[in-house]
């Protein structure tokens, strides 16, 4: 494959064709293609095209349902519950965030829980949708075991991201999308594929000893941020997205790459609310907030204090313009999946 422009219609068409070949409807294929391309555009390669083959493999093996009957149950005007029927996660999350947006627009606050879903890529991608509709959002999802609870010798929590998004009164949204592990599992996976080392202090091997070898880290345990605090946050997210929603929890979410013994049944929780519930001038207030923080004296070498989401937006803008070389491994995946 040659260098491609990620925003090119050709790439999207190619992805849609592959997903449809594996049984997805045109709509679901398009939603999934958009999510993968977006991950590449923001530079989150661990959540982008490198996962295409995994999704297709899971459909082939019957653990992602290409023709899900997704049920949306209204609990109240603000609250909805979605049974995603083991759809590809992108589709479940797309419906969920749209429902959460609708609920918040009607009542001021929306809460949508999802069960029987799968890996949906980047939480920030869905947060952006709510922020574009001028809402604040908090999004939680669990994930397969990767991080050991504080005091334990075995992984159980996923890298469970905390995601928060808010309008900023400018075109660049504030999107915090931070894993509670020292390092993103996707990044370790990419490092393992490319035979690169990972930083010190982020993972242990399967014997509980520190390692910088990405492959050994994948067999071992990732460390949570800030010891018992990060462990507590990961536990909170497992409760909010798993215990509460009816999804899997407590380490039962299957690894999408390695475990084809059944669907993942990941749970997600989406909370959305209006910015003007309590103040009339939210945009002015948040602009002032950001301006004051950016004006602080900086550590030597720091040019600008960036808010969460700003760097990602810059990468997005840059990557929409230039052509990108797709790695040989992904090129090979494309070839396999086409036929």
Which residues, including other chains, have CB under 8 Å from residue 308's CB and lie 6 or more apart?
Answer: 164, 174, 175, 176, 177, 178
Binding-residue pattern over the window 91 to 130 for its own copies, x denoting contact by CB under 8 A: ----------------xxx-x-x-x---------------
Q: Is 61 or 106 the residue whose CB approaches its own copies more closely?
A: 106
Which residues, including other chains, have CB under 8 Å from residue 122's CB and lie 6 or more apart?
Answer: 35, 38, 39, 42, 44, 47, 177
- At closest approach, how far in Å is the CB of 43 from its own copies? 15
- At closest approach, how far in Å is the CB of 286 from its own copies? 5
Give, as ranges, the residues between 11 and 50 that touch its own copies (CB under 8 A).
Answer: none
Binder among 30, 32, 78, 222 for its own copies (CB under 8 A)? 78
Give, as ranges, the residues between 218 and 257 that touch its own copies (CB under 8 A).
Answer: 225-226, 228-230, 232-233, 235-236, 238-240, 242-246, 249-251
Give, as ranges, the residues between 145 and 184 that touch its own copies (CB under 8 A).
Answer: 148-154, 156, 162, 164, 166, 174, 176, 178, 182
- CA 212 to chain CA mean position, Å: 24
Q: Is 7 or 298 the residue whose CB approaches its own copies more closely?
A: 298
Binding-site residue total for its own copies (CB under 8 A)?
A: 71
Residue 270 binds its own copies, judged by CB under 8 A: no
Residue 272 binds its own copies, judged by CB under 8 A: no
Q: What is the DSSP string of 81-150?
A: EEE-TT--HHHHHHHHHHHHHHHHHHHSEEEEEEEEE---S-HHHHHHHHHHTTEEEEEEE--SS-BPPT
Q: Is 62 or 201 the residue whose CB approaches its own copies more closely?
A: 201
Contact criterion met (CB below 8 Å) for 33 and 19: yes
Residue 289 binds its own copies, judged by CB under 8 A: yes
- At closest approach, how far in Å is the CB of 300 from its own copies? 9
Cα separation of 79 and 104, whole Å?
9
End-to-end CA distance of the chain: 16
């Amino acid at each position: 494959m040659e260098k491609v422009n990620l925003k090119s219609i050709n790439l999207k068409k190619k992805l849609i064709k592959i997903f449809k070949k594996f049984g997805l409807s045109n709509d679901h294929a398009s939603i999934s293609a958009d999510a993968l391309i977006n991950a590449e555009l923001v530079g989150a390669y661990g959540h982008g095209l490198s996962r295409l083959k995994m999704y297709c493999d899971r459909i082939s093996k019957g653990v992602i349902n290409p023709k899900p009957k997704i049920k949306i149950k209204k609990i109240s005007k603000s609250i909805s519950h979605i049974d995603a029927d083991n759809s590809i996660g992108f589709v479940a999350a797309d419906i969920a965030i749209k429902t959460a947006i609708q609920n918040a627009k009607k009542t001021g606050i929306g809460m949508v829980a999802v069960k029987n879903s799968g890996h949906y890529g980047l939480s920030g991608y869905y947060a952006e949708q709510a922020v574009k509709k001028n809402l604040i959002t908090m999004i939680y999802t669990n994930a397969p075991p990767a991080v050991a609870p504080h005091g334990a010798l075995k992984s159980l929590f996923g890298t469970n991201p905390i995601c928060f998004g808010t309008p900023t009164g400018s075109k660049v949204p504030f999107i915090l999308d931070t894993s509670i592990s020292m390092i993103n599992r996707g990044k370790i996976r990419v490092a393992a594929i490319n035979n690169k080392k990972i930083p010190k202090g982020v993972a242990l091997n399967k014997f509980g000893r520190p390692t910088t070898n990405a492959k050994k880290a994948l067999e071992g345990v990732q460390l949570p941020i800030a010891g018992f605090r990060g462990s507590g946050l990961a536990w909170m997210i497992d409760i909010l997205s798993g215990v509460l929603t009816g999804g899997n929890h407590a380490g039962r979410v299957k690894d999408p790459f390695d475990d084809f013994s059944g669907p993942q049944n990941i749970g997600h929780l989406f909370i959305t609310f209006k910015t003007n519930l309590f103040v009339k001038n939210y945009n002015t207030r948040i602009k002032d907030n950001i301006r004051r923080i950016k004006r602080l004296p900086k550590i030597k070498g720091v040019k600008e204090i960036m808010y969460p989401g700003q760097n990602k937006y810059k990468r997005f803008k840059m990557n929409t313009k230039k052509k990108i070389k797709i790695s040989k491994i992904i090129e090979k995946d494309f070839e396999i999946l086409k036929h």
